[in-house]
């Protein structure tokens, strides 16, 4: 009869821990894993651009381009209402003539509010 020799190093684990730790080798490992998510603080603020110019939207966009380093395309609106213009002939003509007249768009104030989230302007800002 062929008997297998039992390897003493592979004893079955006891069902309960012994009161006396000298009788065996107990390996205890405590693993404490803590995941710390890097918290990104999302700062939101409102910025306001106020200009008064004959091309107020173009002036506001120019200040946005300078501040945020982006290119913004823009086209002047078509002026159709006479009240949007002013006669500046006497201010700009130095020859004393009143003809031809120098007519330019009126300088109007323009105020633009927008949200900035973490330093980036938001495109779809509604108030």
What digits encode the pLDDT tens for the residues 72-89?
A: 998 988 888 999 899 999
- pLDDT score recorded for residue 101: 93
Question: How does pLDDT run across 23-66, given as a tens digit for each residue?
Answer: 444 443 334 444 444 555 678 888 899 999 888 889 999 998 99
Residue 75 lies in a domain: yes
Instruction: Identify the domain containing residue 52 by its residue range.
Output: 44-121
Reported pTM = 0.53
- Per the domain annotation, does 36 fall within a domain? no
Q: What is the 3-state secondary structure (H, E, C) of the chain?
A: CCCCCCCHHHCCCCCCCCCCHHHCCCCCCCCCCCCCCCCCCCCEEEEEEEEEECCHHHHHHHHHHHHHCCCCCCCCCCCCCHHHEEECHHHHCCCCCCCCCCEEECCEEEEEEEEEECCEECCCCCC
Q: Is residue 92 in some structural domain?
A: yes
Average pLDDT, integer, range 109-124:
83
Q: Tell me, what's the pLDDT at 31?
A: 40
- Residue 126 forms part of a structural domain: no
Tell me, yes or no, whether 12 lies in a domain: no
Domain count for the chain, please give it: 1
Report if residue 96 sits inside a domain: yes
Residue 113: inside a domain? yes
């Amino acid at each position: 009869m062929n008997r297998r020799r039992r390897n003493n190093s592979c004893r079955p684990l006891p069902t309960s821990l012994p009161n006396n730790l000298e009788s065996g080798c107990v390996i205890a490992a405590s693993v404490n894993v803590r995941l710390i998510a890097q918290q990104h603080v999302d700062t939101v603020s409102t910025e306001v651009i106020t200009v008064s110019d004959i091309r107020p939207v173009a002036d506001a966009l120019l200040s946005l381009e300078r501040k945020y380093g982006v290119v913004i395309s823009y086209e002047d609106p078509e002026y159709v209402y006479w009240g949007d213009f002013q006669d500046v002939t006497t201010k700009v003509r130095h020859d004393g003539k009143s003809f031809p007249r120098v007519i330019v768009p009126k300088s109007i104030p323009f105020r633009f509010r927008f949200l900035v989230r973490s330093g980036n302007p938001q495109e779809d800002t509604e108030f």
